[in-house]
């Protein structure tokens, strides 16, 4: 994989977006991104040879939409992104009925209810908390072929920390101005500044819309069938963004779960107390002759032991949990001009105990032919964190699956592994053969069609 970053996660920061068949939390919102050495410039792997989507008109325009006057002194209001639009709004954007939304890591994700491959992911964040969101947008641009230096990313994130949401969007537009293999354009009259990016990858079209509004970044990621015209997809995305902007208060915060603080109470233990008479005087030595003095009365005191305080049980650390993965295509080819040698995997990985954020994730893949019993060795590839607990992995069969050329038709078997910050690792059951099938075909170079036996 080309773009690999190590995420330095401060404890107490918790880390599902969509795209690239994105899907994905900022589960680690506000974390620091530390570049792995020798990553400048950042380059992306060769893209699948699909027909480039023609660039749209220089700018898209929408009907002016009334928005609330932004009062910089207004008290931030907690929001739930899943309440910003309705289920019908999401179904209209995806172009199919959807499942109930999943709220995680400060974002909201809708999946279509039929094949669970088409996705709408929403997010709304103060720009100062958007370091990972910005990194995810930059990563996608790199995947689409844009050359982005590590210093470019650092500058964009610095703008975010300063609350300059408009500057972030302007920066992404500037970096993408030479794009030729995908569609990118500013969207006029939507927030303070907006960028639309869209590309066809295999059987899906993946797009994102990012809007600057005041000191916040609002947007969505969308994965739909490639059969949909880009302009209709863009219209759907803009309609969703308009509704989100209408529902958002002038200033807001997103409820992002954080680990519970460790509490070690000091237990109270009763000390032995010697009872004494209230108002009594020290004992007086008297001679036998004065033994007739009335003895000082002793007051009986009954002590009640205070029960020791017990600490609330600490949450139990659980291993990482995975969603059903999404692939950008259900087939992958090699050789010839079929143009499907690249497939993208998107999976939601989160910490169900909300104690330890996900530190890293890997994609494992191999070719498997159940008919002959033959397989290739497993290939391990690092996955890239995107946003809202979403992790993305890209597999190029021609360069990353050694031995694939021995098979004219087979399956690509795959699974995922993730480790949280506490070092607990978990694996997702295998896919590709019996479920979520991903077939491998040799492409006939002459006819540019997949060969079958």
Instruction: Decide if 205 contacts 233 (C-beta within 8 A).
Output: yes
**Domain-embedded: residue 361:** yes
Same structural domain, 248 and 160 = yes
pLDDT for the residue numbered 315: 60
Question: What string of DSSP letters covers 97-117?
Answer: -BPPPEEETTEEEEEBSSSS-
Q: What percent of the chain has pLDDT over 90?
A: 32
pLDDT for the residue numbered 60: 60
Write down the mean pLDDT value for the chain. Answer: 73
**Domain-embedded: residue 312:** no
65 burial level (CB within 10 Å; 0-12, 13-18, 19+): middle
What's this model's pTM, rounded to 2 decimal places?
0.54
pLDDT at 3 over 80: no
How many structural domains comprise the chain?
2
- Distance (Å, rounded) from C-alpha 242 to C-alpha 187? 12
Residues 6+ apart with CB under 8 A from 225: 95, 118, 203, 204, 205
Residues 6+ apart with CB under 8 A from 271: none
pLDDT for the residue numbered 389: 77
Range of the domain at 390: 321-450
pLDDT for the residue numbered 14: 26
pLDDT at 101 over 70: yes
Under the banding of pLDDT at 50, 70 and 90, the label for residue 295 is low
Triad 244, 76, 355: Cα angle to 5°: 90
165-185 average pLDDT score: 93
- Distance (Å, rounded) from C-alpha 249 to C-alpha 67? 10
More confident residue, 103 or 262: 103
pLDDT for the residue numbered 264: 36
What CATH number did the domain enclosing 444 receive?
Answer: 2.60.40.1940
pLDDT for the residue numbered 59: 55
Under the banding of pLDDT at 50, 70 and 90, the label for residue 411 is very high
83 burial level (CB within 10 Å; 0-12, 13-18, 19+): exposed
**Domain-embedded: residue 306:** no
Same structural domain, 246 and 381 = no
Distance set, CA 59 to CA 31, 173, 181, 237 (Å): 33, 11, 17, 15
414-424 average pLDDT score: 85
Same structural domain, 374 and 248 = no
**Domain-embedded: residue 387:** yes
**Domain-embedded: residue 299:** no
pLDDT at 289 over 70: no
198-226 average pLDDT score: 90
- Distance (Å, rounded) from C-alpha 66 to C-alpha 194? 16
pLDDT at 358 over 60: yes
- Distance (Å, rounded) from C-alpha 164 to C-alpha 40? 25
Under the banding of pLDDT at 50, 70 and 90, the label for residue 369 is very high
Element (H, E) at 174: helix 165-175
pLDDT for the residue numbered 207: 93
Residue 3: count of CB within 10 angstroms of its CB:
20
Same structural domain, 211 and 346 = no
The SS3 call for residue 151 is helix
């Amino acid at each position: 994989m080309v773009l690999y970053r190590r995420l330095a996660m401060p404890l107490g920061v918790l880390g599902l977006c969509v795209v690239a068949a994105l899907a994905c939390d900022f589960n680690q919102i506000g974390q620091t991104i530390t570049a792995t050495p020798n990553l400048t410039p950042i380059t992306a792997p060769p893209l699948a040879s699909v027909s480039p989507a023609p660039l749209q008109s220089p700018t898209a325009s929408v009907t002016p939409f009334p928005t609330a006057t932004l009062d910089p002194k207004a008290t931030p209001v907690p929001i739930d992104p899943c309440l910003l639009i309705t289920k019908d709004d999401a179904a209209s954007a995806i172009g199919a009925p959807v499942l109930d939304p999943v709220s995680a890591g400060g974002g909201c994700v809708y999946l279509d209810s039929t094949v669970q491959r088409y996705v709408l992911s929403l997010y709304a964040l103060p720009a100062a908390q958007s370091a990972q969101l910005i990194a995810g947008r930059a990563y996608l641009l790199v995947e689409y072929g844009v050359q982005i230096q590590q210093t470019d990313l650092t500058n964009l994130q610095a703008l975010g920390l300063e609350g300059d949401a408009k500057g972030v969007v302007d920066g992404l537009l500037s970096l993408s101005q030479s794009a030729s293999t995908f569609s990118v354009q500013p969207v006029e009259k939507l927030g303070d500044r907006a960028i639309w990016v869209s590309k066809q990858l295999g059987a899906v079209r993946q797009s994102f819309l990012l809007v600057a509004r005041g000191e916040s970044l609002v947007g969505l990621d969308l994965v739909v069938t490639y059969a949909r015209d880009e302009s209709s997809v863009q219209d759907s995305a803009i309609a969703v963004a308009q509704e989100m902007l209408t529902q958002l208060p002038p200033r807001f915060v997103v409820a992002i779960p954080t680990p519970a603080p460790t509490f070690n109470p000091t237990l109270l233990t009763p000390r032995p107390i010697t009872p004494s008479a209230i108002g009594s005087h020290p004992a007086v030595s008297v001679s036998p002759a004065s033994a007739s003095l009335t003895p000082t009365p002793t007051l009986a005191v009954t002590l009640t032991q205070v029960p020791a305080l017990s600490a609330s049980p600490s949450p139990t650390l659980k291993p990482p949990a995975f969603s059903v993965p999404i692939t950008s295509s259900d087939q992958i080819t090699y050789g010839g001009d079929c143009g499907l040698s690249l497939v993208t995997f998107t999976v939601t990985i989160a910490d169900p105990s909300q104690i330890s954020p996900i530190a890293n994730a890997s994609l494992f893949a191999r070719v498997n032919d159940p008919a002959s019993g033959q397989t290739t060795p497993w290939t391990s590839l690092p996955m890239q964190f995107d946003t809202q607990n979403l992790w993305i992995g890209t597999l190029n069969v021609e360069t990353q699956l050694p031995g694939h050329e021995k098979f004219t038709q087979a399956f690509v078997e795959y699974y995922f592994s993730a480790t949280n910050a506490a070092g607990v690792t978990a694996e997702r059951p295998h896919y590709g053969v019996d479920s979520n099938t991903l077939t491998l075909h040799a492409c006939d170079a002459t006819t540019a069609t997949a060969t079958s036996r």
